[in-house]
Structure 1
């Protein structure tokens, strides 16, 4: 069940990023795929480090979607998305705190255009980083939490991945999706507990 939930969130991110293409005159890519992937990893590492108490996380499967013109012609650019899956169980009572910590961190880093959905069935926060990356932290319907950072239409290039990236050499064949690590703080159902 967690696979489709995760996939839905990823599809939303790719659709949001791809929607920026339109049929307007294409802009010169700000960076290539390798640079975009590295920058997304830095953003996500910083985001995970900003969560206190710390959470256990795993890399998600990287996504790359070729950009095209309105006539489905290739543009020589690709949308690059990297992700993190939080493996610490975050109770329903703590999810708002998690989103608020991430929102504060992104804002400190210069992100803007924030949008928040506080529906209990699917919490998320989205923003745009100062360098144009789309940022997203989402809570799935089964309580799985994942963060994405992506850039629309980076210049095509060879790409390397950090060790342990799912689906890449040295990484697992499947990404870890299901939260299973207990935290005295994040897993607690008592909102008064510090």
Structure 2
């Protein structure tokens, strides 16, 4: 009987229907893609508010899958190579203080990254890309399908509408850009 019960639980958890059945939001309500996108915005808002001195950022793409949403933001402040460790430390501390589980840290000097997960199942990451540009990404768990509106959070850097790609960081900070050419 115990093995049958375990098999049924595994079937429910790992089946395609089980993956989306009973998706519960942070407040206990069923969560759809729009609410997941709003939750992702909240996660991004908090970490960017926790960075002191503040950095300028802009919205990057929002992706919608069959049952998940990804929100992205690009930091437009130049974070010098010498300040990257401090920057990652501030983000790591913010996420740990928010109760997130740090899943992995990439200490590569050229492309460092932090990957974490919230208590409600959202994946969060910070990745330093080409020329030191910092990107934040939040991936939702599988939720109910719905339309997804653009973020209503106002960026602190210019919006690069109509451009194919967001340019490299181009805003200087007395602190974060120190030592940068």
For the criterion TM > 0.5, the same-fold answer is yes
Corresponding residue for 2:149?
Answer: 160
Structure 1 distance, partners of 2:160, 2:148, is: 15
Please list every run of 5 or more consecutive structure 1 residues that lacks an aligned counterpart in the other structure.
1-22, 67-77
The Cα RMSD (Å) is 2.2
Describe the superposition over 1:64-122 as per-residue Cα deviations: whole angstroms up to 9, x where unpaired. 122xxxxxxxxxxx221101100000000111111110111111111014311010121
TM-score by length of 2: 0.78
Please list every run of 5 or more consecutive structure 2 residues that lacks an aligned counterpart in the other structure.
1-12, 25-30
- Contact 2:160–2:166 (Cα < 8 Å) also in 1: no
SS of structure 1 residue aligned to 2:47: helix
How many equivalent residue pairs? 153
Q: Point out the structure with max Rg over C-alpha.
A: 2
By percentage of residues, which structure has more helix?
2
Structure 2 distance, partners of 1:48, 1:62, is: 17
TM-score by length of 1: 0.73
Corresponding residue for 1:42?
Answer: 42
Identify which of 93, 99, 113 aligns with 1:110.
99
Corresponding residue for 2:9?
Answer: none
- Contact 2:104–2:115 (Cα < 8 Å) also in 1: yes
Runs of 4 or more, structure 1, over 3 Å off, are none
Corresponding residue for 2:126?
Answer: 137
**1:176 Cα deviation after fit:** 2.7
